Amino acid sequence: MIELHSVGNIRPHRLFASLCAAMLILAAVLVLPHASQPAPRVPLLVPVFSSAQATLNAIIAYLVLLQFHMERNDPDALISIAFAYSSLLTLVLLVSLPGVLTSDDHFARLAPALGWLWVAKLAGHALLILLAMLLWRKWPARTAARGEIHCRVALVAFVPVLLVGCACALVNGLASNLPLLQDGQGSYASLARGWPGLFILACWACALLSVLLVTRLRRSFDCWLAFSCLAYLLYLTVNFSSALRFTAGWYLSRLFELTASATLLGALLFEVLRMQRQLKTLYQSAYQISIRDGLTGLYSRRYFDTALAHEQQLMAHTRRPLSLLMIDIDFFKRYNDTYGHPAGDDCLRQVAACLQDSARSSDIVARYGGEEFAVILPDTDANEARQAAERLRNAIMARGIPAASPAGRERLVVTVSIGLGCRRSDPQAAGETTLIDEADHALYDAKRQGRNRVACRIL
Ligand X SMILES: Nc1nc2c(ncn2[C@@H]2O[C@H](COP(=O)(O)OP(=O)(O)OP(=O)(O)O)[C@@H](O)[C@H]2O)c(=O)[nH]1
What is the contact surface with ligand X in residues (CB under 6 A)? 295, 328-334, 336, 341, 344-345, 348, 370-371, 447, 451
Beta carbon nearer to ligand X, 331 or 373: 331
Beta carbon nearer to ligand X, 118 or 368: 368
d(CA 59, CA 44): 23
d(CA 445, CA 438): 10
Which ranges constitute the DSSP H helices of 340-431? 341-358, 382-399
Beta carbon nearer to ligand X, 321 or 344: 344
CB of 435 to ligand X, least distance (A): 21
CB of 326 to ligand X, least distance (A): 11
Beta carbon nearer to ligand X, 163 or 327: 327
CB of 452 to ligand X, least distance (A): 10
d(CA 70, CA 66): 6
d(CA 192, CA 258): 20
Beta carbon nearer to ligand X, 330 or 440: 330
Beta carbon nearer to ligand X, 194 or 370: 370
Helix (H, G, I), strand (E, B) or coil at 105: helix
Beta carbon nearer to ligand X, 257 or 371: 371
CB of 145 to ligand X, least distance (A): 40
Beta carbon nearer to ligand X, 271 or 371: 371
CB of 415 to ligand X, least distance (A): 9
Beta carbon nearer to ligand X, 12 or 370: 370
Sheet holding 416-423, edge to edge: 364-369, 372-378, 322-329, 416-423, 454-458
Helix (H, G, I), strand (E, B) or coil at 178: coil
d(CA 166, CA 16): 38
Beta carbon nearer to ligand X, 193 or 334: 334
CB of 422 to ligand X, least distance (A): 22
Report the residue closest to ligand X, judged by CB.
344
Q: What is the DSSP secondary structure assignment for residue 214, as one 8-state letter?
A: I
Which residues, listed in sequence order, are joined to residue 207 by a DSSP beta bridge? none
326, containing H or E segment: strand 322-329
Q: Which sign, positive or negative, has the C-alpha torsion 148, 154, 157, 161? A: negative
Q: Which sign, positive or negative, has the C-alpha torsion 343, 349, 352, 357? A: negative
368, containing H or E segment: strand 364-369
Beta carbon nearer to ligand X, 65 or 418: 418
d(CA 330, CA 391): 17
Q: What is the DSSP secondary structure assignment for residue 212, as one 8-state letter?
A: I
CB of 141 to ligand X, least distance (A): 41
CB of 131 to ligand X, least distance (A): 58
327, containing H or E segment: strand 322-329
Of 327, 307, 442, nearest to 373 by C-alpha is 327
- Cα 182 from chain centroid (whole Å): 47
CB of 347 to ligand X, least distance (A): 7
CB of 344 to ligand X, least distance (A): 3
Output the DSSP codes for 23-59: HHHHHHHHHGGGTTSB----TTHHHHHHHHHHHHHHH
CB of 345 to ligand X, least distance (A): 5
d(CA 364, CA 302): 13
d(CA 240, CA 119): 12
